[in-house]
Amino acid sequence: MGLATSYQLGKRKASVLVLERFKFLNQQGSSAGFSRQYRIPYPDEYMVNMALEAQPYWDELQTHTPKTLMDKVGTLWFGDPNVHSTEGNIAAAEKAMDAAGVKYTTLTSKEVEDQYHFRNLPSNYTGLFQADGASIDLVATLETLHDLNLKSPSVTLKEFSPVYQINQIDGIFHVTTPEGTHLAKKLVITPGPYINNVLNLLNFKVSVTYWEMASAYFKKKQNLIFNTLPGLYFRKLSEKTEISFTDSRKLPGTTLVTSVWHLILLLNHLQVLISAPLFQTLRNWLIPLNGLKIT
Ligand SMILES: Cc1cc2nc3c(=O)[nH]c(=O)nc-3n(C[C@H](O)[C@H](O)[C@H](O)COP(=O)(O)OP(=O)(O)OC[C@H]3O[C@@H](n4cnc5c(N)ncnc54)[C@H](O)[C@@H]3O)c2cc1C
């Protein structure tokens, strides 16, 4: 969201500074991993409309890269139409799409089996297929946005710049990172799951719910690029947090430095031990040793 916002603001010739706590294109926020689904079926009408409004921005972004950002495979959604899940509810999504005039196909349980090769589905299941749904190439999307921002004369990108203080003095925001304080008339705050850490700096918070989600990627071809896999995994087990480090890069001589760096990131993430200036010093010391893009 931050890179998309700065890109759009840069196009309007607004002077923009983007402050990123970790490295750009990191694996520590919501935009980790390889892919995302783009879909129009949402149970809320405003979400359906937002998905539709996003389309021209996707089309414009696509003109800047030869890589396919959205693979339009369509959205197939099936199950018990009365079940309300974190992803929504089929019946409500159909209603919201009807209100927005979005075309889709409804399917019976048998049609889902016949057309999409599922087996033994409960007979009360219904399905819907919406043809504009797509699989988003997340890495290509982020890289394209990052490149566009790098090229924009209006945008300055600063990574490893965690914002830890925000004051508003005479209508001007004073935003402090370990490197110093930046002044701005306007702030766009897009810290993803860290939202309340940042909003706390402005003395308010929003009510958000975080839920644990298991996700898996399945190999389509042999030559998947493994060096962009996240190297740090968290798993919360009751009151204890179990942490395992996995260096997926397997490059000689880098594991120790990478692990030390992950430990620092973790401590920084957990907001213990590491003060912001010390974090910055350690970063400056470790990154050249490694010579890698460590996330
Ligand atoms: C497993 C998973 C699957 C998902 N699937 C889908 C899907 O299929 N379709 C879909 O539409 N959405 C999906 N989502 C949601 C979607 O990925 C997120 O909504 C989106 O990535 C959010 O992007 P963002 O830029 O808002 O946040 P982020 O990508 O988290 O970016 C926020 C950035 O702010 C930085 N930051 C935080 N605090 C500070 C600070 N104090 N100072 C400086 N920088 C800071 C962080 O380091 C981070 O880089 C999924 C999310 C997850 C986790």
Tell me the domain boundaries of the chain: 35-137, 226-290
Retrieve residue 40's tokens: 């129009």
- Ligand 1 touching residue 162 (CB < 6 A): yes
pLDDT band at 88 (very low <50, low <70, confident <90, very high): confident
Q: Is the pLDDT of residue 177 over 70?
A: yes
* 137-149 per-position pLDDT tens digit: 999 999 999 999 9
d(CA 162, CA 225): 29
Ligand 1 binding pocket includes 1 (Cβ within 6 Å): yes
Choice among 35-39, 114-118, 142-146, 168-172 with the minimum mean pLDDT: 114-118
pLDDT recorded at residue 235? 33
Ligand 1 atom closest to the Cα of residue 201 is 41
Q: Is 39 a pocket residue for ligand 1 (Cβ < 6 Å)?
A: no
Distance 158 CA to ligand 1 centre (A): 18
- Once rounded to an integer, what is the mean pLDDT over residues 230-253? 36
Q: Count the Cβ atoms, other than its own, within 10 Å of residue 157.
A: 18
Topology adopted by domain 35-137: D-Amino Acid Oxidase; Chain A, domain 2 (3.30.9)
Residue 92 pLDDT grade (very low, low, confident, very high; cuts 50, 70, 90): very high
Question: Is 134 near ligand 1, meaning CB less than 6 Å away?
Answer: no
Alpha helices of the chain — where are they, by DSSP H? 2-11, 45-62, 90-100, 109-116, 138-151, 195-199, 255-269, 276-290
Tell me the one-letter amino acid at 7. Answer: Y
**Centroid of ligand 1 to alpha carbon of 114 (angstroms):** 37
Residue ID of nearest Cα to ligand 1 atom 18 = 30
- Residues 172 and 185 sit within 8 Å (Cβ to Cβ): yes
Q: Using a 6 Å cutoff on CB, does residue 133 contact ligand 1? A: no
Closest approach atom of ligand 1 to CA 198:
41
**190 within ligand 1 shell (Cβ under 6 A):** yes
SS3 assignment for 81-143: CCCCECCECHHHHHHHHHHHCCCCEEEEHHHHHHHHCCCCCCCCCEEEEECCCEEEEHHHHHH
**pTM for the predicted model, two decimal places:** 0.77
Point out the ligand 1 atom lying closest to the alpha carbon of residue 29. 30
